[in-house]
A and B are shown apart, each in its own frame.
Chain A
Amino acid sequence: MITITDNQYQLANQFMGTSNFLEGPAGSGKSTIASAFLLNLLNQGVPGDQILILVPQRSLGLVYQNTIAQLDTFNNGQPSILTMGGIAQRAIRLFWPYVLEQINFKKDIPPTFLTMETSQYYLAKVSEPFFEKGYFETIHADRQRIYSQVLDNLNKAAVNGFDYLTIADRLKNAWAKEPEHIIAYQEAQDVAEAFRTYCIENNLLDFSLQFEIFANELWSIDHCKRTLIDNYSHLIFDNSEETVPVAHQIINEWLPNFKSSLIVYDQDAGFRAFLGADPISAYSLKTKCQQHFVVEGSWTNSETIQKIIPLYSAALKYEPIQIVEPEVLNFIQFHHNMYYPRMIDMVTDQVASLIKDDNIPPNEIAVLAPFVSDALRFQIQSRLENKGIDLISHRPSRSLREEPATHVMLTWAKIAHPDLKIKPNKYDIRTSFMFSIQGLDPLRADLMTQVLFSPNKKFVLNDLDATKMEMQNRFTFAAGAQYETIRQWLLEYIKFPVDLDIFLARFFGEVLSQPGFGYHDNYQAASIIANLVESVQKFRKVTTFTQQDDPLVLTNEYLNMIENGTIAASYLEAWQAPVEDAVYLAPAHTFLMQNRPVQYQFWLDIGSQGWWQRLMQPLTQPYVLSKNWTEGMKWTDIQEFKTNQENLTRLVTGLLRRCKNQVYMYTAGYNERGEEEKGYLLQAVQRLLRYKHQLLEQETNV
């Protein structure tokens, strides 16, 4: 439940009928004021559907969703909470005939909007001949990473408003001395161009193309622009600093047309720079606004934290540290351990003590690290589980591919489609038996696999009757009977195969969810399988044009895509524990983007370079591919160092502003891989500790 003070309401009242720019640090109540403005608008009878709430990513619209959820009436229609990408997609759907006039898409088929996954799927197809020609031999990266960088470059060009044909030149010209792998930029360019051509030939719209069509084509057509403008009369644009330049440009033109508007700007932020966010161009919107407001102070931080923020900032910038009371420095608590798992023990013990001894709600605790490896996540999760504490993470611990239920279903799919010649191995079979036949233990499942699985046959499951009675007795006759039911069902199915999603739904519904089978009354598995079916359906929708009527083509493509990892990254959200009861574990950057203050933060392995270093990728560079990059500039270590220092300062400030009580910091002698690291965050903390030491010494001497 959001609480709004009188002062905040009064401030929000001033926004009516004019354009406003509201800035302030994180935690100063900006989004709350914006919510007050939203309520004001609705209270004054503005129809809800005339209000546009623009956010950089969906999760940042949550605060408004909650506000809206509290209301009884919206004066005809709900306010729209959208990202600029969402607006682009809507516009393209609406004005498709106009798009066809501008771009050489096929006239007779509708547009297909690609997701990240399906873009990668098509890009993989397009780039195959390039790999065969020996492309990308000068860099060390696996194909998945190459795909994501090629797409990333296209997106960067689109959101920053430069021609995608210039990507490689920009990247090449930024080097002061040519590195050996410079040729790879041109190779990435060739692939990107081939992909764009393929998309246009087949009416496929990836994110970059959607954005470009909207910004370059539709927005310049009067009729289209007018329709959009007429749709909304009030704007709330939150976290404008996390949004991309082209969005700023559009808002810049759109702004005079709103009856009232509020642009919210978070100082010291811009954490999505690697995704193209541009705080500088966001700030330029200020000059377009009639009224400017600054909010200061913090609703989140204690006084101590507010005092400590500038100290960190000074330590990171190598500036003199201003004198404060030594007790403020007590805030800096750090624990050192030689070994990484021991560090995890200490973190989880401290978390448990806060929850159990001090009654701190689990959702007031965030455990943060520069990267969260699967192993780290699992270690924390299992330790907390033992203490009866739930943990949620920025993503669940398993991808769709790794979920046992998915695995089992896809194994059955392989067996059910012997013509595809994708054979499961004996472990897949054993696992599938174990999960599919109720009460079957791993040993008996293994026995069954040994006698009933023939990998060399076309249909790999043997007839139960051919098995000796003694063996049937060992794995139990009951299990044997269930096996035979499954086998018979599959043999029937093979005669008339259908699309993969239909197979999955039918096999689950008619067999595995029935009494005596493994997924009877198992709602969790049912929900996972429902997700799997949905994933196949989505895939089917975007790929229908490439297939003939043969359902095997879809099954084959989907299974291959799963096997080679293209959709490994899809994670399910349905079974995440509710945020209310759980400790949150995430990479520090992800936590910042959640914009959710907590009482206690745990910073893990502060010696890691990951706190400081940006994500480096051989085919892309976020700063060179940004709007602020001018031709002729060179990117050398001076810029690299400066940017990393600024980013670290921003990160630390951002984290501290989202902390209400205390930060616990941890260092490990050896990191996860057994290496020693002494990164810049650790150095800055040392500087502060040394300063504290000096202050204490001075005090003792006095």
Chain B
Amino acid sequence: MFKPRPRQQEVINYPGGKMGVSAVPGSGKTQTLSYLAAKILASSHIKDDQEVLIVTLVNSAVNNFSQRIGSFMQSFGLLPNVGYRVRTLHGVAHDIVRERPDLVGLDTQFQIIDERESNQILNAAVDSWMKQNPELIREWSSEADQNRNDPNFYSGWQRSISSIAANFIRQAKDLQASPNDISLRLQEMKYQHPLINFGITIYQDYQRALQYRSAVDFDDLIRFALQAIHIDPDYLARLRYRWPYILEDESQDSSKLQEEIIRNISGPDGNWVRVGDPNQAIYETFTTASPEFLKAFLAEPDVIEKALPNSGRSSASIISLANELIRWCIEDHPVEAVRNALTPPYILPTPPGDPQPNPIDRPDMIFFYDKKLSADKEISTIVSSLKKWLPNNQDKTVAVLVPRNERGAKIVEQLQHHQLPYLEMLQTSLPTRQTAAILSAALQFLGNPTNTNHLINLYDLFDRQMNLTNQKLRKIIVQLLRSCTYLEQYLYPLPDQDWLSSLPQESIVEFDKVIEALIHFRSTLSLWQKATELPINQLLITIGQDIFTKQSELALTHKLALMLEQANHNHPDWMLLQFADELELIAQNRRKMFGFVEEDNGFDPEAHKGKVVITTYHKSKGLEWDRVYLLSINNYDFPSALPGDEFMSEKYFYKNPINLEAETLAKLKALINQDIEGLFMEEGYATQQSRYEYAAERIRLLYVGITRAKQELVLTWNTGNTHFKRQIPLSASIPYKALQAFWEETHEPA
């Protein structure tokens, strides 16, 4: 049973009204907030048609909250799952829009397109723009690159332009400006800029494509939710009645619009609790999200301010590193403008006798790995460290944190190679990807049934999924299939053309079992082939029902079936192979898809002791492990806005060393806000500002990484992919060096 410590109790004693809580990492805020929700529900403040609304940042936190509140409610003798709703902000926005789509020009069956579909639309628009405007690309390119005509150069620009367009649209939606609004503003301000014109064109095309599909994207949801409650005050009143208490977690990452939605629903005299940690604001780049909103909220006169400064998560050594990062940043960061990236409060350990005490200190388990390592070498070093550590620490939890998904996938490959047990929390969870992979393989075969590779790929996955044979037999069967010249003689034999009966019994190990498996596979395929006359959603469900038994897999199949049904609606000309490609993107981790397994819906590290968890710094937020590896702490992934730092957004092929994206967005913002000074600011200013912002956010990301560790911490950096032309080897990031120096000063070398 949860025993709150005194500062947590102060939060739980919440009397109503507005309250802001700044919480350090590991201070038990989820637990405290869940307990507070259950306590409100146990009191008679909530009628049976009202709910406590809990708003959180990411999907994975939703179930975590739900379960905790449910179990507190049960401990109070109440029915779980009743009287509260846990949602991400997009989830709340979806609820609001879904109930009254008419208020914003949508119909009941509107679709929400995901990132993948949205990128597809965007790329099509960008492609056609680039074809029509080759002279602009040349003009914006560096002199050395102006006459290049190779595909790498083109695709580099394509990625760049797509990214600028995507962020232009996102920013415009966040500023509540339609393409038309931006054009009007251009006329009013008598201003012209090719990048703004480009942005408007793509934005217009993009919105048209959405309209044609009866669809909205995630940013529209937020915008529309706000519009809906503004247009119909009676609807707002109903929502206010429904959610008399709003508890908001991770509020440091709220954007202006998001805050406005919650502020509106809460109302002037509402009950609104915001918990957050400005030091953990890591979703700000190119969004209007900012920890400043939380800081401003805390300063409002009617807000009760509370803090959760004690953390029982980490050992004294780890807390000292985290606190040193704050101190160093404020006092010693070489770039003045980045010094406000981190702010007090410092993390305090728990007081004596605390129900959730800090773990025993193990300074000998903190490692700064100072050797220069290439990107690949860094991974192999980590893997060999894990190989030594894991066998002796089966009862402990461990995670490897990487800055980007692609890097995680590479580590997974290495772990697989060394047969180390692992679990990944990257873009899409492994079970979800596996489900998509086998369905995709099935569609691929059905689309092209005379292709032996497709058949073999499907057999391999099918055999594993169904536990048909063992690894040895599977290998034999795959070899046999490879030797089958005419597949029709296996799948649809005729009396004089029967591959199976021609197989030499004497030279095949466990012949009967092999034949049995091949016949079983054949009869399944024959059923599926008959089903190809069904609409795509029904075909997928048919296949799913034949191969899956777990409910999470079947539920995912159903969801994928609806996704393909929608794709079919948008692309009536699609054939089986295109549907297979859609699923393949999920299987290859290139399209995000929430499945129904734990990794998708809330993750408990404690349930995976003795396994390596691979995830990104971003996704690790809210979680903790006994041992944590922090990778890639170099001046590219964690730049400090110093001369010589590399910035991802400043491409080598740009005419000037600028961040085209930042410059464009700054102009857009100035235009909408009618800020003449901003509009005519010289080129380079926005680039510099964005460097500061990015450097600040990356320091906070490092802070998040460090504070995931309970006892043991390994920090490494790499020199990058040195085989890339033009690339100067990277160095350790400045904060890494500062922390290392601090550690060496205060401790004997390990």
A: residues with CB less than 8 A from B are 136-143, 145, 175-177, 179-181, 184, 318, 338-342, 373-375, 378-379, 382, 397-398, 402, 404, 425, 427, 431, 441-444, 446-447, 450, 474-476, 563-565, 609, 613, 615-618, 621, 636-638, 640-641, 670, 672-676, 678, 683, 686-687, 690
Contact = CB atoms under 8 A, between A and B. Distances in A.
A340 B106 contact: no
Contacts of A615: 107-108
Nearest to B540: A375
B651 interface: no
B453 interface: no
A140 B223 CA distance: 14
Given A141-B211, A145-B214, A636 B105 contact: no
A142 to B, nearest CB: 5
A140 B215 contact: yes
A617 B596 contact: no
Contacts of A143: 212
Nearest to A407: B533
B318 interface: no
B215 to A, nearest CB: 6
Interface in B394-437: none
Contacts of A176: 232-233
A402 B539 CA distance: 13
Nearest to B180: A137
A690 B48 contact: yes
A672 B562 contact: yes
Nearest to A134: B208
A114 B554 CA distance: 44
A338 B551 contact: yes
B232 A637 contact: yes
A674 B596 contact: yes
Contacts of A676: 85
Given A339-B596, A446-B450, A613-B99, A618 B105 contact: yes
A140 B106 contact: yes
A138 B211 CA distance: 8
B555 A340 contact: yes
A640 B492 contact: no
Nearest to B178: A180
Nearest to B544: A341
Interface stretch (B383-391, B483-491, B659-667, B725-733): B483-491
B538 interface: yes
Contacts of A672: 558-559, 562
A342 B105 contact: no
A179 B492 contact: no
A311 to B, nearest CB: 15
B461 interface: no
B334 interface: no
A616 to B, nearest CB: 4
Given A398-B535, A617-B108, A674-B559, A637 B235 contact: yes
Interface of B: 48-49, 51, 82, 85, 94, 98-108, 110, 178, 207-208, 210-216, 227, 230-235, 237-238, 447-450, 486-488, 491-492, 494, 529, 532-535, 537-538, 541-542, 545, 551-552, 554-555, 557-559, 561-562, 565, 572-573, 575-576, 594, 596
B110 A140 contact: yes
A636 B108 CA distance: 17
21 contacts: A138-B105, A140-B107, A141-B106, A141-B211, A142-B212, A177-B232, A180-B104, A341-B551, A341-B555, A373-B562, A375-B565, A441-B491, A442-B532, A443-B450, A443-B488, A443-B491, A476-B494, A613-B108, A615-B108, A617-B102, A617-B108
A447 B565 CA distance: 28
Nearest to A684: B49
A141 B212 CA distance: 6
Contact of B237 (A318, A341, A374, A637): A637
Nearest to A612: B99
A616 B558 contact: no
Nearest to A431: B533
A177 B235 CA distance: 12
A375 B108 contact: no
A686 B562 CA distance: 30
B231 A375 contact: no
Nearest to A176: B232
Nearest to A449: B450
Contacts of B104: 179-181
A542 B100 CA distance: 39
B541 A379 contact: yes
A643 to B, nearest CB: 12
B562 A181 contact: no
Contacts of B108: 613, 615-617
The 5 closest A-B pairs by CB, nearest first: A181-B105, A637-B235, A637-B234, A441-B492, A139-B105
Contacts of B103: 179
Contacts of A398: 535
A425 B538 contact: no
A618 B107 contact: yes
Contacts of B572: 563-565
Nearest to A639: B234
A89 B178 CA distance: 47
A425 B211 contact: no
Given A181-B105, A340-B558, A136 B211 contact: yes
Given A142-B212, A318-B49, A640 B100 contact: yes
A609 B534 CA distance: 29
Contact of A637 (B227, B238, B576): B238
Contact of A442 (B235, B449, B562, B596): B449
A603 B183 CA distance: 51
A184 B235 contact: no
Q: Which of B551, B575, B594 has the most CB of A within 10 A?
A: B551
Given A474-B488, A613-B108, A139 B542 contact: no
Nearest to A425: B575
A683 B82 CA distance: 9
A615 B108 CA distance: 6
B231 A177 contact: yes
A382 B545 contact: yes
Contact of B213 (A142, A177, A404, A450): A142
A616 B107 contact: yes
Contact of A179 (B211, B214, B227, B545): B227
Contact of B100 (A139, A616, A617, A674): A616
B105 A184 contact: yes
A673 B449 contact: no
B238 A441 contact: no
A564 B571 CA distance: 11
A442 B210 contact: no
Nearest to A318: B49
B529 A142 contact: no
Given A378-B537, A382-B542, A474 B107 contact: no
A476 B552 CA distance: 44
